[in-house]
Amino acid sequence: DQPIIGTEMGSTVTTRGIYEKDTIKGYVPDQDITAPWWASRAEEWWTLAANNDFWLGGFIWTGMDYRGEPTPYQWPNINSHFGVMDMCGFPKNIYHYYKSWWTDKDVLHISPHWNFREKGPGWNKPKGDPVDVWVNTNADNVELFLNGKSLGKKDMPRNSHLKWTVNYEPGKLEAIAYKNGKRLYQKVETTGMPFEVVVTPYKTTILADGKDATVLNITVLDREGREVPDADNLIKFSIEGPGKIIGVGNGDPSSHEPDKCVEGMCQRTLFNGKCQVIIQAGTETGMIKFEAKATGLWSGGTDIQTISPESINKVTVDSKYRLTTEQVKPVEVGKMLGADISFLPELEIRGMQFSDNGIEKDAIQILKDHGFNYVRLRIFNNPARDSGYSPGKGFCDLENTKKMAKRVKAAGMKLLLDFHYSDYWADPGKQYKPVAWRNLSFEDLKKAVYDYTREVMQQLKEQGTTPDMVQVGNEINHGIIWPEGNVSNFDGLAQLINAGTKAVKDIDPSVVMMLHVALGGQNDESVFFIDNMIARGVHFDVIGESYYPKWHGTLEDLETNLEDLSRRYNRDVIVVEYSHRKEEVNKLAFEVPGGRGKGTCIWEPLSTWEKFFDDKGKANDLLKLYDEISKKYLKD
C-alpha cells in the first residue's frame, strides 16, 4: 500500500524542428518516438502513471537539454536531447504533450511545420510524399483539414495523441477541435522565404548594476508576416550603449559555433528558425540599441533602457495629487470589444467612404454592427505644430477629439481616451515633451499635466461625452514626458501619472483608469514596472497591455502574463493594442481565469496592418470574424 513517485522519468530524446533521424548530424525526430533502451517514451510512462492511483506522478528527465551526454550519439554532438525544451528554452513538440495532460489550459498543437517543399507533388509524382501529422490536445475530438479538405475526424484518447498520415502538398493544415462544446482552432502553413529579422526582447528595462540581463529571441518572417520554421540564415548582431552581449545560442545540439563572441563579431545561425542572444547591463544608465541583420533581409532591433538601482529604492509621493477616499474606490470594468480609429477623420478628408455588404455607412456604425462596443481615441497636446503629429491640420487635437467623441457616443458606444502628453506619437521608444512645456520646472510640469488633463475632461463632459475609460499616457513602460518622466526616474514618472489621474477623477470619479504598457508577453518587466508604480501611489482599475507578436513574444507568453497580472494584482486586464492573430488574442484576453479578462481594443483596423477594409473602404472577411467573437464574449 505504499505510493510511489518517479524521480527520473521518460528520458525521451528529440531534436527541435527535426523530423527525420540524421546520424551524421546527430539529430533525432522531434516526436515522442525515440528513447534509449533503458528509458521510455513520454506517452508510455505517463499513461501508466495517470491510470494508477498509487502512482503519484514523476519528474521528467529533463526540462531542458544540457551540455554533455549526447545520447544516442557521441562527439561531435555536444549536448543532450532529453529536454522538452532545447538549450535556449525553445519548446519541442513533446512539451505540448505534457502541457495537454498536466494543465487545465486548452491545448491544440499540430506538428510538424508545413515547409516540406521537397516532398510535394511534381512532374514525376502525382502525389506528395506521406508525412505523419501529430496533434497534441486535451480536446474531446479533432478534425484535420488540408487546404480546406477534411482528412477525417478522430476522438482523442486520454493521455495520448492523434496521428494522420498525409500526402504532402503546400498550403494550410488546420485542426478544429471541441472541448466540452468549446471550439478550438490551430493551423500551420507553408511559408514564403525569409524576408525580415524579428527581435523579441523579454525585458526592455534592466538595472545598470553590471549583473542584470535580458534574453532576446530571434526569428525571421516571410513577406506575409509568418514565422519561417525551417530558416537557417546567419544572423549578425550589433550593440551600442551601456551593455554587452554575453552569450548567443540556437538550441542545435551539434552546433560548434561559439556561444561567446569577440566584441563586434557576434553572430549565430538560425536553427530551425530560431536563435537567441543574452545582453547584460553595464554600470551606466542610458539606452542600449541592439540590431540583428542577415544578408538580403530587413533587419530587426530593439531598445533596452538601463536604470540606476538607486532610483528604485527612493520613493517619494507628492501629496498635492493624492486621490480622495471616494476617488480611489474601485470602479467596475465592463467588457470591451474596442477599436482605436483615431485615423478616421484623416481618411474621410481624403475622400474615403466605408461600406459593408455594398451599403455605405459611417465606419463607426459598421463596427457597432459587427459587435464592437468601444472606441479608443488618442489625443495630442498640439499636433498642428511643424514638429507635431499633424502639421498645420491638428488631427487628434482637442477639437477634433470632441467631434469624434460626439460621433462615438451618438452611435451608443463607449469611449476610451488615450492621453499621449506630446505633440507627436508617444510609445516606448519616444515620449517627447510638448513644446509648450519644455522650459517648465518639475513642479510647473506636474501642474501643466493636471491643468491640461482637467481641461480636456471638462470640455468633453460639458458636451455630454465624458470618457468611460482613460489612460494617462500611452505605452508608458519607458515613461512619459521625457526626461522628467523617464522610467529611469520612477518618482518623477509616478508623480506625473498621479497628476493626470487626479485631474480625471476630479472631473468624474466613476471613470475607469487604465495603466497601459507595451509588454504583452514580457511578464517580468510588467511586474517590475507595476510594482514600482504601486509603491508610488499610482491608481488604476485595469491593466492594459499591447501585444504585437514581433515585439511581445508568443501567444503563450501573452497568456501567462495576463493570468499572472490579474491574479497578482487582483485587477482586470485588457489587450488594448493588437492587430494580428485576432481570434487567438481575443480568446486569451476574454478567457483569463476568474473573469478578469475584459477584452481587447484593436489598433487602427480601418486602414493599418491587418485592416478591415480595402483601399476603397469596402469591408472584408476580417471584419466578419467579430460577428462570432462578439457573440461568444459579449453575450452577457
Position 205, amino acid: T
Q: What are phi and psi of 241, to 5 degrees?
A: 105, -170
- Cα–Cα distance for residue pair 130/165, rounded to 1 Å: 6
Q: What are phi and psi of 534, to 5 degrees?
A: -60, -40
- Cα–Cα distance for residue pair 232/275, rounded to 1 Å: 10
Angle between helices 523-535 and 555-569 (to 10 degrees): 30
Q: Cell numbers of 225, please?
A: 508576416
Beta-strand ranges (E) seen in 273-432 are 275-281, 286-293, 300-307, 336-340, 355-356, 359-360, 374-379, 414-419, 426-427, 430-431
Q: Which of 475, 525, 545, 604 is catalytic?
A: 475
Please provide the DSSP assignment of 429-466 as one string.
TEEPPPGGGTT--HHHHHHHHHHHHHHHHHHHHHTT--
Burial class of residue 354, CB neighbours in 10 A (0-12, 13-18, 19+):
buried
Q: Cβ contacts of residue 509 below 8 Å, gap of 6+?
A: 326, 327, 329, 331
Please provide the DSSP assignment of 509-560 as one string.
TTSEEEEEES-TT-HHHHHHHHHHHHHTT---SEEEEE--HHHH--HHHHHH
CB 128 within 8 A of CB 114: no
CB 300 within 8 A of CB 244: no
Q: Are strands 141-146 and 149-155 parallel, antiparallel or unpaired?
A: antiparallel
- Cα–Cα distance for residue pair 7/12, rounded to 1 Å: 15
Q: Cβ contacts of residue 176 below 8 Å, gap of 6+?
A: 142, 143, 145, 183, 184, 185
- Cα–Cα distance for residue pair 585/589, rounded to 1 Å: 6
Which residue from 147, 146, 135, 149 is spatially nearest to 179, judged by alpha carbons? 135
- Cα–Cα distance for residue pair 121/125, rounded to 1 Å: 5
Q: Which of 174, 484, 577, 604 is catalytic?
A: 577
Is 475 part of the annotated catalytic residue set? yes
- Cα–Cα distance for residue pair 143/154, rounded to 1 Å: 6
Q: Cell numbers of 629, please?
A: 467573437
Which residue from 256, 259, 251, 276 is spatially nearest to 14, judged by alpha carbons? 251
Chain centre to alpha carbon of residue 540: 22
- Cα–Cα distance for residue pair 145/157, rounded to 1 Å: 20
Place of cell 525551417: 230
Place of cell 467596475: 332
- Cα–Cα distance for residue pair 395/383, rounded to 1 Å: 7
330: cis peptide before it, omega within 30°? no
What are the b/e assignments for 435-447, b being 16+ CB within 10 Å?
A: bebeebeeeebbe
Is 224 part of the annotated catalytic residue set? no
Place of cell 502553413: 189
The residues carrying an active-site annotation are 475, 577
